């Protein structure tokens, strides 16, 4: 066995051949469907979600919203619910409705602070219940459909109305999980 010269001998592992093949297949499929068609699909879903979310009491959409807003953005809808920690909203959507969303600051703390009208230094105590301020983000993609919009808007409306089946506790890592009445969550 002969070692390669530097820097090649310091390269680790086997190339991600499966990943490269999967990427090629995904690119081919996207080209087959058409990026314009996918963008139009995501814009329609986003427009429907924005329209319906506007009727949820206590919900604030951050970023472009209203007539024509979906045409100016990707299929992402960040929002907050008055008085409800973004982590609790995300946990309730996940545990009770099987809907995956992202919550927190999305690795964009200064921008989220700006959107929430806060100073970055105030983010750690400005959230609901004195926690970390953040948002919930719904994301739509080529695989999403109108039923996904229906499910997420209905679930968010239930959480906004306080129709949460159990209690949630925040762990040491900051994540929210069911606590207390776990039996109610299982029903």
90: tokens are 């995300």
Look at the chain and report how many structural domains it folds into.
1
- Give per-residue pLDDT as tens, 65-87: 888 888 888 999 999 999 899 99
In a domain, 141, yes or no: yes
- Give per-residue pLDDT as tens, 101-122: 999 988 888 888 888 888 877 7
User: Residue 74: which domain range?
Assistant: 35-186
Q: Is 107 a catalytic residue?
A: yes
Nearest to 100 by CA among 140, 58, 63: 140
Regarding pTM above 0.95, the answer is no
Catalytic residue, candidates 6, 107, 121, 186 = 107
d(CA 174, CA 109): 16
In a domain, 7, yes or no: no
d(CA 116, CA 148): 27
Q: What is the CATH number of the domain that holds 180?
A: 3.90.1150.10
Given a contact cutoff of 8 angstroms between Cβ atoms, the answer to whether 103 and 86 are in contact is: yes
């Amino acid at each position: 066995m002969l070692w390669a010269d530097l820097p090649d001998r310091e390269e680790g592992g086997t190339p991600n051949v499966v990943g490269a093949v999967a990427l090629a297949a995904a690119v081919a499929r996207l080209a087959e469907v058409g990026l314009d068609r996918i963008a139009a699909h995501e814009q329609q879903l986003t427009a429907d979600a924005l329209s319906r979310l506007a009727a949820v009491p206590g919900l604030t959409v951050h970023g472009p919203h209203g007539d024509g807003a979906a045409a100016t953005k990707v299929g992402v809808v960040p929002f907050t619910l008055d008085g409800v920690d973004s982590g609790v909203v995300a946990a309730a959507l996940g545990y009770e409705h099987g809907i995956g969303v992202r919550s927190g600051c999305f690795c964009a703390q200064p921008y989220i602070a700006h959107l929430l009208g806060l100073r970055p230094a105030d983010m750690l105590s400005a959230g609901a219940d004195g926690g970390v301020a953040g948002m919930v983000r719904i994301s739509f993609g080529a695989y999403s459909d109108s039923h996904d919009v229906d499910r997420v808007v209905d679930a968010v409306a239930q959480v906004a109305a306080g129709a949460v089946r159990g209690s949630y506790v925040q762990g040491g890592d900051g994540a929210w999980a069911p606590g207390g009445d776990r039996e109610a969550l299982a029903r």
